[in-house]
Structure 1
Amino acid sequence: MELRVIDKTDEELRLEIAGEDHTFMNVIKGALLETPGVAAATYDMNPEQSGGQTDPILSVKTEPGTDPLDALGDASRRVQELSTNFTSAFEAAL
């Protein structure tokens, strides 16, 4: 997975995430929307709307005082924790 910051301000982040599809993008967007201080999270995979871009672009807008990179880190850790918990529950069920 390759990440490239397109734009970053105190309250906004646009990040290209190469090689990912709707499955991953929906998970990270959902985790961001549950993160305190996040006002909005979306992603775009439409080349017509993103200047011919084919890799997804994640956009995050935060409330004042919340750094969007910190919010993305928090959301990523939560996704990792959920995945670990699911794996443990699945293995226990076998």
Structure 2
Amino acid sequence: MEVKILKSTDSYLELEIQGEDHTLGNLLAGYLRRINGVKFASYFQPHPLLTNIILKILTDGKVKPLDALKTAIEMAEEDNNKFISEISKI
């Protein structure tokens, strides 16, 4: 996985994530949309034969897009750990 910043301002971030596809893009965009201050979060895969996605995050300016992304990753990790814990009980 390689991450490259394509555009960055105080309220907008556009990242290219190489080596990833819809699985990670949909996961991150979904968690980002749950965060207060995130106005828009989406991704797209530029071409079906390429293994890279473009993630776009727009905030209201009260939260920085990179901070929102870090929070989304932490939320996904926490849910994943809960799921693993529940599966371990079976």
Q: TM-score with structure 1 length normalisation?
A: 0.88
Sequence identity of aligned pairs in percent? 38
Per-residue deviation at 1:31? 0.3
3-state DSSP of counterpart to 1:10: coil
**Could you say if the C-alpha distance between residues 9 and 69 of structure 1 is closer, same or farther in structure 2, counting changes exceeding 3 Å?**
same
3-state DSSP of counterpart to 2:62: coil
Answering whether residue 68 of structure 2 is matched by residue 71 of structure 1, we say yes
* Contact preservation (8 Å) 2:25, 2:44: no
Answering whether residue 18 of structure 2 is matched by residue 18 of structure 1, we say yes
Structure 1 runs not aligned, ≥5 long: 48-52
Q: Runs of 4 or more off by more than 4 Å in structure 1?
A: none
Answering whether residue 44 of structure 2 is matched by residue 44 of structure 1, we say yes
Structure 2 runs not aligned, ≥5 long: none
Residue 86 of structure 2 corresponds to 89
Count of aligned pairs between the two proteins: 88
Residue 31 of structure 1 corresponds to 31
